[in-house]
């Protein structure tokens, strides 16, 4: 999907179909269990910022980027409301190269399936691995090819929002994540309208 479409979707706060201020249990569990302790953290494709804000409220120092200016404006307001501080940046994911820091924890939540080009996906993971400190964690959550969609099959499919997303198998994900050691992998099922459901690959990795 292009940046302008995202900007239109984010014109009004909390209207994006994926925005949800309540944080998924599978995400929270990592921190409640103390598997990942408060540390310098990077989120890519943060949207309206709720996941970064949750971590900031748990004592994490968070940098978050998104290429949609409207998403970041909403995220800044949300952070203010929650009385937490997050370093938000507007730009394409490639701006992570300009951020000097490396991080103990990097994550993307419903972002990776927006990268449709195989070469770009590989490049992205390569760059993410440069941003994770040795011993640090990378968490990624994106569409599985097991998601039921109405009209299309294959890896790249039209979604209800009118954009195309990349639906990856677990095996493909494992190959893509080769710079990392996979700690855990799960399929998360999220019911949608009628008999359809979205299925996501959730991978926790370590460098």
Ligand X SMILES: C[S@@+](CC[C@H](N)C(=O)[O-])C[C@H]1O[C@@H](n2cnc3c(N)ncnc32)[C@H](O)[C@@H]1O
State which residue, 181 or 200, has the beta carbon closest to ligand X: 200
Rounded to the nearest whole angstrom, what is the least distance from the CB of residue 47 to ligand X in the complex?
3
Burial class (CB in 10 A: 0-12, 13-18, 19+), 39: middle
Say if residues 113 and 161 touch (Cβ distance below 8 Å): no
- The footprint of ligand X on residues 92-131 (CB under 6 A) is 92-93, 109-111, 114
Minimal CA–CA distance to 48: which of 85, 89, 76? 76
Q: How far apart are alpha carbons 131 and 114 in whole angstroms?
A: 20
Contacts for 187-195 with beta carbons within 8 Å, 24 or more apart?
187/144, 187/146, 188/24, 188/26, 188/141, 195/148
State which residue, 141 or 181, has the beta carbon closest to ligand X: 141
**Per-residue tokens: 109:** 């939540």
State which residue, 66 or 145, has the beta carbon closest to ligand X: 66
State which residue, 48 or 145, has the beta carbon closest to ligand X: 48
Q: How far apart are alpha carbons 44 and 138 in whole angstroms?
A: 11
State which residue, 52 or 135, has the beta carbon closest to ligand X: 52
Q: How far apart are alpha carbons 71 and 88 in whole angstroms?
A: 10
* Count of residues interacting with ligand X (CB under 6 A): 16
State which residue, 34 or 49, has the beta carbon closest to ligand X: 49
Rounded to the nearest whole angstrom, what is the least distance from the CB of residue 134 to ligand X in the complex?
26
- Per DSSP, 168 falls in state B
Say if residues 156 and 116 touch (Cβ distance below 8 Å): yes
Rounded to the nearest whole angstrom, what is the least distance from the CB of residue 206 to ligand X in the complex?
21
The closest residue (CB) to ligand X is 47
Is residue 27 part of the contact set for ligand X (CB under 6 A)?
Answer: no
- What track of x and - describes contact with ligand X for positions 39 through 78 (by CB under 6 A)? ------xxx------------------xxx--x-------
Is residue 19 part of the contact set for ligand X (CB under 6 A)?
Answer: yes
**Per-residue tokens: 156:** 């790249």
Using CB under 6 A as the criterion, which residues of the chain lie in contact with ligand X when the complex forms? 6, 18-19, 45-47, 66-68, 71, 92-93, 109-111, 114
């Amino acid at each position: 999907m292009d940046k302008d479409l995202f900007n239109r979707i984010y014109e009004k706060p909390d209207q994006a179909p994926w925005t949800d201020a309540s944080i998924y249990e599978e995400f929270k569990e990592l921190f409640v269990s103390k598997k990942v302790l408060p540390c310098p953290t990077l989120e890519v494709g943060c949207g309206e910022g709720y996941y970064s804000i949750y971590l900031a409220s748990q004592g994490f120092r968070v940098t978050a980027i998104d290429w949609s200016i409207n998403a970041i404006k909403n995220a800044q307001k949300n952070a203010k409301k929650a009385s937490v501080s997050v370093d938000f940046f507007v730009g394409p994911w490639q701006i992570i190269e300009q951020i000097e820091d490396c991080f103990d924890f990097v994550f993307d939540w419903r972002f990776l399936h927006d990268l449709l080009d195989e070469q770009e996906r590989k490049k992205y993971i390569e760059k993410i691995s440069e941003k994770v400190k040795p011993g640090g964690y990378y968490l990624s959550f994106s569409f599985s090819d097991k998601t039921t969609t109405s009209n299309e099959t294959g890896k790249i499919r039209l979604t209800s929002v009118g954009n195309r997303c990349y639906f990856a198998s677990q095996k493909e994900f494992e190959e893509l994540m080769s710079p990392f050691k996979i700690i855990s992998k799960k399929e998360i099922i999220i019911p949608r309208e009628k008999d359809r459901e979205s299925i996501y690959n959730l991978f926790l990795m370590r460098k």
